[in-house]
């Protein structure tokens, strides 16, 4: 029996059901590009049939290689505070558990609501699956979106902020029409699914502009669109200001960039300037400090988490500062399809930090860590929900290296495990 921190059997059954269609064809579609195996219109057609699709004029969508979750959360917070309306937020993946993918005014759907909405959709899903062709499947990310749209409609949400999955061109959210879209960044991430080359990844992300009236993005994105000619250039609106978050030195450099995009999105969406100051420091689910200076003074290590899987999205000056303060331990979880070697080289050669990797095992998704194991960096192979194993590793590393700071870095799946292990 797999180790898990969940005790709600009915909730687990629903999650198994959500992944069941994908699991049937997982072997057949493994290693193939999204454009060859994903059909977002299966779920979107069902959503339209069930009258769950909101008016595009009320929707902001967000995509990108780095920062899309943080930017989505910032937009939702600022939009709600500025408009006073009920703002629905859908993010991918979950922050801690799957029901928190969907929120209204910052409050997640309850587990019971999540279960009930899935159950109401289940008869329609059975029929849709019966009509699938060979190697087609009901996308788990699409099913989470469908549950969210059902709950949002019941709760009478007024405005929507919706984050895509890893891509846009073959993603359900990426094909959901909206008034406004935001593209945060384009990096060499998920090449096995969106690539194989960076230009393919760029084209995939830029495709969100085809089904939006306006696109908020910086000059780098504008340059990519000029090169690839994906959407009409007159749709693009560049942010005019940099983020102005207080105490910015305590946050990664990319945080200000995301804040600028979020503010520009809300200004464009509401067609007016912002009327309030907005503190969005707590908006990011990708970066945070679980234990700070108080922990260090108490003789415990400071503890950071960072959902980073590519060197270009790493805040290197912050890591250099932490290393200079002494006894920095970096614990990463980097599957084979991430930018493993560049990150390892930075931590071990340039930063000269204590460095270790953890492989995650489990039955859902693609979790391959052969590269980490062959490179000799992997110190443990644990289930992706085994909090006790992670806590034991943390204690061992703290004692072994007299760690002053432990910096957890890797996929959202790994960061979720870190949060559950040390925030609960």
What confidence tens digit (pLDDT) does each residue in 375-386 have? 899 999 999 989
- Averaged over 305-321, what is the pLDDT? 90
Would the pLDDT of 1 be above 60? no
Count of domains forming the chain: 2
Q: What is the pLDDT of residue 285?
A: 86
The confidence band for 243, taking pLDDT boundaries of 50, 70 and 90, is: low
Exposure on the CB side of residue 29, measured as CA atoms within 13 A: 22
The three-state DSSP-derived secondary structure of 281-343 is: CCCCCCEEEEECHHHHHCCCCEEEEECCCCHHHCCHHHHHHHHHHCCEEEEEECCCCCCHHHH
Query: Between residues 339 and 52, which one has the greater pLDDT?
Result: 52
Average pLDDT, the chain: 92
Q: What is the pLDDT of residue 242?
A: 57
Q: Which of 74, 287, 81 has the alpha carbon at shortest distance from 161?
A: 74
- Contacting residues for 33 by C-beta, under 8 A, at least 6 apart: 192, 193, 194, 195, 196
Q: Range of 29's domain?
A: 11-270
- Please indicate, yes or no, if residue 366 is contained in any of the structural domains: yes
CATH (domain of 321): 3.90.190
Would the pLDDT of 248 be above 80? no
Q: What is the pLDDT of residue 245?
A: 52
Helices 41-49, 140-154: crossing angle, 10 deg rounding: 20
**Does 195 share its domain with 325?**
no
In DSSP notation, 6-22 reads ---HHHHHHHHHHHHHH
Q: Which residues of 40-68 are buried (b: 16+ CB within 10 A; e: fewer)?
A: bebbbebbeeeebebebebbbbbbbbbbb
CATH (domain of 264): 3.40.1190.10
Residue that is last in its domain, among 270, 295, 326: 270
**Does 67 share its domain with 119?**
yes
pLDDT in tens, 121-172: 999 999 999 999 999 999 999 999 999 999 999 999 999 999 999 999 999 9
- Please indicate, yes or no, if residue 177 is contained in any of the structural domains: yes
- Please indicate, yes or no, if residue 280 is contained in any of the structural domains: no
Would the pLDDT of 35 be above 80? yes
Would the pLDDT of 271 be above 70? yes
**Does 351 share its domain with 233?**
no
Residue that is last in its domain, among 209, 237, 270: 270
The pTM of this model reads 0.88
Residue that is last in its domain, among 212, 235, 270: 270
**Does 344 share its domain with 250?**
no
């Amino acid at each position: 029996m797999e180790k898990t921190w969940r005790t709600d059997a009915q909730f687990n059954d629903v999650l198994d059901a959500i992944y069941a269609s994908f699991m049937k064809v997982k072997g057949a579609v493994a290693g193939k590009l999204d454009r060859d195996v994903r059909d977002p219109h299966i779920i979107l057609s069902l959503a339209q049939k069930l009258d769950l699709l909101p008016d595009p004029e009320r929707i902001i969508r967000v995509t990108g290689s780095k920062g899309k979750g943080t930017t989505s959360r910032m937009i939702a917070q600022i939009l709600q505070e500025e408009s006073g309306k009920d703002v629905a937020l859908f993010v991918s993946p979950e922050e801690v558990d799957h029901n928190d993918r969907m929120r209204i005014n910052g409050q997640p759907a309850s587990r019971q609501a999540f279960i009930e909405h899935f159950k109401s959709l289940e008869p329609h899903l059975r029929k849709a699956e019966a009509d699938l062709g060979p190697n087609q499947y009901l996308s788990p990310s699409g099913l989470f979106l469908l549950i969210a749209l059902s709950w949002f409609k019941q709760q009478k949400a007024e405005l929507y902020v919706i984050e895509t999955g890893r891509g846009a061109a073959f993603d359900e959210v990426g094909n959901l029409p909206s008034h406004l879209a935001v593209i945060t960044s384009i990096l060499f991430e998920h090449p096995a699914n969106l690539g194989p080359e960076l230009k393919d990844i760029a084209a995939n992300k830029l495709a969100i502009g085809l089904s939006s009236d306006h696109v908020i993005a910086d000059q780098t994105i504008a340059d990519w669109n000029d090169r690839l000619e994906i959407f009409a250039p007159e749709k693009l609106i560049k942010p005019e200001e940099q983020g102005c978050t207080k105490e910015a030195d305590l946050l990664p450099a990319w945080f200000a960039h995301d804040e600028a995009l979020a503010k520009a999105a809300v200004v464009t969406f509401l067609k007016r300037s912002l009327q309030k100051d907005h503190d969005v420091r707590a908006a990011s689910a990708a970066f945070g400090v679980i234990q700070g200076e108080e922990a260090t003074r108490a003789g415990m290590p400071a503890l950071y988490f960072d959902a980073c899987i590519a060197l270009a999205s790493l805040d290197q000056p912050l890591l250099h500062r932490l290393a200079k303060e002494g006894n920095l331990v970096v614990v990463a979880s980097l599957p084979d399809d991430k930018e493993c070697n560049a990150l390892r080289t930075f931590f071990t050669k340039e930063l000269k930090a204590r460095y270790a990797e953890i492989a995650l095992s489990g039955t859902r998704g693609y979790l391959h860590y052969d590269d980490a194991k062959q490179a000799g960096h992997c110190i443990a192979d644990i289930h992706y929900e085994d909090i006790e194993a992670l806590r034991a590793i943390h204690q061992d590393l703290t004692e072994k290296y007299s760690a002053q700071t432990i910096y957890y870095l890797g996929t959202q799946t790994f960061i979720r495990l870190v949060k559950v292990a040390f925030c609960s």
